[in-house]
Amino acid sequence: MSHLDTYKEAMAAGREIDCYNNKIVFCERDSFMIGLTDDQVLWRDCILPLYEEGDHDLPNRIKQYVMQLANTDDIVCVYGALSTIHGYILSSIFYGRPFEIDFSECIDTARKTILRNEEAFKNYQGNKFSSYIGNPYDLVAEMVGIKKDQIPQKARPIKKKNKKKGSV
């Protein structure tokens, strides 16, 4: 069964979101992560062909799914949301995009979720990221622009200025 057929089957069963939350995995033999959807495969083999077939509501549904997943405390789902956004960016480079989606609100939501669940991301014990060297936090934090030494503003310590001798 092709990736597109699998996606269409999920749609027919009312499980389209599972194509984004890694419950249904789209990957190839040389995909970066084992057990997680390869965002380029999802875009190339499913999303873009569906849109070309006339499913012009697809961008709205994608944004809805990404926002829903970014707002969960499920590490694999948050990764799925960010991976979908990453695939969207790459699709414009490799395949061209016939539509635009503004994911800025989704990224902000994911950033808040990641900061709120930092320890859970850093201490993830599941097998979904087993082919990645490092922890899921390092992967997703980079995707939303969190620097390794970044502390949320409300928790940032106040630094005292040292006066140098002889200065006014």
Q: What pLDDT shows up at residue 159? A: 46
For domain 3-155, give the CATH number.
1.25.40.520
Per domain, the residue ranges of the chain are 3-155
Closest CA to 77 of 118, 134, 126, 18: 18
| Helix-helix angle 58-70:104-116, to 10 degrees | 20
Cβ atoms of 39 and 86 closer than 8 Å: yes
The per-residue pLDDT for 96 is: 82
Which are the contacts of 114, defined by CB distance < 8 A and separation ≥ 6? 78, 121, 137, 140, 141, 144, 146
Calculate the CA 143 to chain-centre distance: 7
pLDDT tens over the chain, length 168 residues? 999 999 999 999 999 999 999 999 998 887 767 778 999 999 999 999 999 999 999 999 999 999 999 999 999 999 999 999 999 998 888 888 899 999 999 999 999 999 999 999 999 888 787 767 778 898 899 889 887 655 444 444 444 444 444 444
110 near 72, Cβ under 8 Å? Answer: no
* pLDDT computed for residue 18 by the predictor: 98
Q: What burial letters (b/e) apply to 41-77, b meaning 16+ CB within 10 Å? A: bbbbbbbbbbbeeeeeebbeebbebbebbbebeebbb
- What is the rounded distance in angstroms from the CA atom of residue 22 to the CA atom of residue 24? 5
